[in-house]
Amino acid sequence: MKLDVTREVVTDLWSLYRAGDATADSKALVDSFLAEDPAFAETLRTSEQLTSAVPPLRLSADAERRLLDEVRQRARTRLLLIGGALAVVAVLAFAALGGALFLTLVS
């Protein structure tokens, strides 16, 4: 069975390949594909150079904890807003249902 290897497949494997974590079969697949498509090989190598030019973000433990706390607080706030909106909708639905039931009984 012959596999149809695309640029997307090679792109997915690229980070494993560069880190040296790809299996021997995956490495051979990437090598053979890049040998057949030198323009794409150059594109990947250029993107690797651009990526390595950007310094990695390093946070202190304190800054990381503050960031995590802020994200948690935002998540809580969103959940409260969604819950409040659902509660308002439920109250309005019950009020409308009760009003319709009342009008039916009065008529």
Q: List the pLDDT tens digit at each of the 107 positions of the chain.
A: 467 889 999 999 998 998 889 999 999 999 999 999 999 999 998 887 776 666 777 889 999 999 999 999 999 999 999 999 999 999 999 999 998 888 888 87
Contacts of 61 (CB under 8 A, 6+ apart): none
The domain segmentation of the chain, as residue ranges, is: 1-56, 59-107
Q: Quickly tell me which residue has 């150079």 as its tokens.
A: 49
pTM over 0.75: no
